[in-house]
Amino acid sequence: MDMRYLILPALFCLAGNTALWAQQPGAGRLSGSFQTNVNFFQRDSSIGAANTPGYDRQLLGNESWLNLDYSNWGFDVGLRFDLFNNTNLFDPLGSFNGLGIGRWYIRRKIGDFTIMGGHIYDQIGSGVIFRAYEARPLAIDNALYGARVSYQISDDWQVKVFSGKQRNIFSSYHPTLSGAAVEGYVAGNAEGTWSIVPGAGVVMRTTDDATMNQIIAAIESYTPEDGFIPNYNTRAATIYNTLSAGNVTWYVEGAYKTNDVFYDPFAEKHNWNGSVTQGRLVSRPGNIIYTSLGYNTGGLGVIVEAKRTQDFTFRVDPFVNQLRGMVNFLPPMARVNTYRLTARYNAATQEIGETAGQVSLRYALNDRWSVNVDYSQIMDLDMQDLFYREVYTEVNAKPGDAWNILAGVQHQWYNQFIYEGKIVDGRPARIGTITPYADIQYNIDDTRAIRAEFSTMFTGWLNDAPTRDYGNWLFGLLEYTIAPHWTFTVADMWNFKRYDLNTRQKVKAVHYPRVDVFYATGPTRVALSYIKQVDGIVCTGGICRYEPAFSGFRMNMQTNF
C-alpha cells in the first residue's frame, strides 16, 4: 500500500487531538501554510495571448498547495495537498489537471542519528551534483522520494546517505538515485580568526530497463558515426570548501561526472539520407569548477565569481526537457535583476558548456549615498563566442529622511539563439540593449508611502537587424501603500517602437497595462491583478523557463498558520 494513504488520516487524527495535547506537558505543535493562484484568461491575439487551451476554451486555471507539519514525541510528520485545475504551469502552451498528496515525510532523531522517509529536500555542496528543491514559479518540485540517514560524528562533522527516486508531480521517475556526503568545520586557530568548512559528496543514477530500451531504440536510428554504447550507471563526485579569514570568504567547488547519456541540442545528427540536423542523444563525461571570493569591510563589498561548465547536464531521464527531471543545480553567473525591463532578458545557465565570470562592487560613501556596479560575461568553452554580457550601474541616494532615490543604467548583450533558440534570416538572433531606470520613494508619514518606477529599453543599437526583437520599451509604475494592510499599483509597459518578429517591419505600438491591489493582515496576503504581459523568459536563481503572453485577471493568496 502507498504510504501516502496512511500518512493522511494519521496526520489529521494527530491534528484533531492537538487541543487535548496542548494542555499536557510536551504537547505537540501543528503548523502549516496555504497558497493558491487563480488565472482568469481573456483572449487577446494582438499580444499573442491566444491559441492555447486556457484562452480558447477553459478560461480559468488554478494551482493550490496546502502544507501541514506536526511535531511530537520526537517525530516530525508532514504532508502537502496539491491541486491543479487547467494549469499551464508545467506546459506554458498546454494544460494539466490533477490533485492528490504532493508530498509527505516522517523524520525522527535517535541519538546521533536522524532518519527520514518520504519526499526529501536536500542538496550536496552548492548543488552542482545533487539538489532536491521546490521553486513553484518555475514548476520545479524535484523532491527525492526515498529515505535519508544522517549521523552526527561530532559537534563539527556529519555524514548522510540517501536513496530513492525523483518526484514527478504525483508519481516518480523510474531511474533511481543514491548518494552520500560528509561535511565538517575546522577552526584554523584558537582565536577563531580563520576557519574552513570542507565537504565531499557522490551521487549515482541507475537507469531502469524501460528507459534504457528507449535510449537504445533512439541510438539504433542513428548512423554509425553518431552511435554509442550507453551506460546504466552514471556517477558524479564533488569536493568543496569554504575558507573564512577576517573580511575574506572564499568558496570553491569542483565536480566530475562519468559518461552520461543526455540530449545535446547543438550536436549534429547525420541522417541516413545524407542530411544533417541539430540535436541528438550523446554520451560524454562532464566537469565543472565554481568559485566565489568575497571581501567586505567598512562601506566596501566586493564579490568575484567564476565558473567553467562542460557537459554537466544531469537528469534522471534524457528524454525529459525544460526544467523536468533535473538532478542538480548550477549556480548562475548573471545578476538577478528585479525591475521589469532590466529583467526582460535573462541568461539561463548553459549546462552543455560555458565559461563565465561576474564581479559585484558595492561602496557606501556615507549614510546617504552608495554606488553599486555589476559586470558579468558568459562565453563558450573556447572563449571565442559571446553568449551574454551585462554592465549594471546603480546609485542610491537618500536626500532626506522621507526620500529614497535609486537610479542607474543597464547594458546587455544577449545571444537570443543560445538562450531561446531564435533565428532571424538564417542567422542566430542577438540583442543589444541600453536600459536607464529610476526608482523614487517618498514616505508621506509613518503609515503612507508613494513609490514611482520608470525605465526605458532601447534595442537594436548594434546596427544589425536581428537585434531588434520586439523593439523599444517604456515602463512606468506608481505604487501607493497604506501600512500595514493595503498596497495599490498601476503600471504600463509600452512597446512604443515595435517590430514584427517575422517580417522585422515596424508595426503598431502595443500597451501592456497592469493594475494590482494587495491586502495583508497578519500572516495572510491576498492580491488581485489585471494583467497584460508580453511573453518572455522568467528566471529564479539562474533557473529559467519560457512564460507565454498573458491577458486577464490573477488572484493570489498566501497564508501561514
Q: Which of 15-24, 119-128, 187-196 has the lowest mean pLDDT?
A: 15-24
Cell 497584460, residue located: 532
- For the chain, list the domains and their CATH numbers: 111-330 (no CATH), 332-521 (2.40.160)
Question: What is the Cβ-side half-sphere exposure of residue 14, based on CA atoms within 13 angstroms?
Answer: 22
SS3 of 5, please? helix
**Longest CA span, the chain:** 79
Burial class (CB in 10 A: 0-12, 13-18, 19+), 335: buried
For residue 294, CA distances in Å to 141, 305, 331 come to 31, 9, 16
Residue 471 has pLDDT above 90, yes or no: no
Tell me the backbone φ, ψ of residue 178, rounded to 5 degrees: -140, 145
Higher pLDDT residue, 502 or 447?
A: 447
User: At CA 35, angle to CA 29 and CA 40, rounded to 5?
Assistant: 165
Burial class (CB in 10 A: 0-12, 13-18, 19+), 23: exposed
Contacts of 465 (CB under 8 A, 6+ apart): 424, 425, 504
Q: Following DSSP, what letter does each residue of 370-412 receive, concatenated?
A: EEEEEEEEEE-TTS-SEEEEEEEEEEEE-SSTTEEEEEEEEEE
| Percent residues over pLDDT 90 in the chain | 76
Question: What is the Cβ-side half-sphere exposure of residue 416, based on CA atoms within 13 angstroms?
Answer: 23
Beta bridge partners of 243: 196, 250
Residue 18 has pLDDT above 60, yes or no: no
pTM over 0.85: yes
**Mean pLDDT of the region 482-488:** 96
Peptide bond into 53 cis (omega under 30): no
Tell me if 315 sits within 8 A of 327, measured CB to CB: yes
SS3 of 190, please? coil
pLDDT band at 462; cut points 50, 70, 90: low
Residue 425 has pLDDT above 90, yes or no: no
Q: Which of 83-87, 311-315, 427-431, 481-485 has the lowest mean pLDDT?
A: 427-431
Cell 542610491, residue located: 396
Question: What is the Cβ-side half-sphere exposure of residue 131, based on CA atoms within 13 angstroms?
Answer: 15
Tell me the backbone φ, ψ of residue 19, rounded to 5 degrees: -60, -40
Cell 563526485, residue located: 237
Beta bridge partners of 152: 158
Single out the residue of 411, 422, 421 nearest to residue 388, CA to CA. 411
SS in 3 state form for 219-265? Answer: HHCCCHHHCCCCCCEEEEEEEEEEEEECCEEEEEEEEEEEEEEEEEE
CB atoms near residue 251 (< 10 Å): 19
pLDDT band at 542; cut points 50, 70, 90: low
pLDDT band at 503; cut points 50, 70, 90: low
The pLDDT tens digits for 38-89 are 999 999 998 889 999 999 999 999 999 999 999 999 999 999 999 999 999 9
Tell me the backbone φ, ψ of residue 456, rounded to 5 degrees: -140, 140
pLDDT value, residue 189: 84
Give the type of residue at 99.
Answer: L
Question: What percentage of the chain's residues is helix, strand, coil (to nearest 5)?
Answer: 10, 60, 30
DSSP 545: E
Q: Rounded to an integer, what distance in angstroms lies between the CA atom of residue 382 and that of residue 61?
A: 45
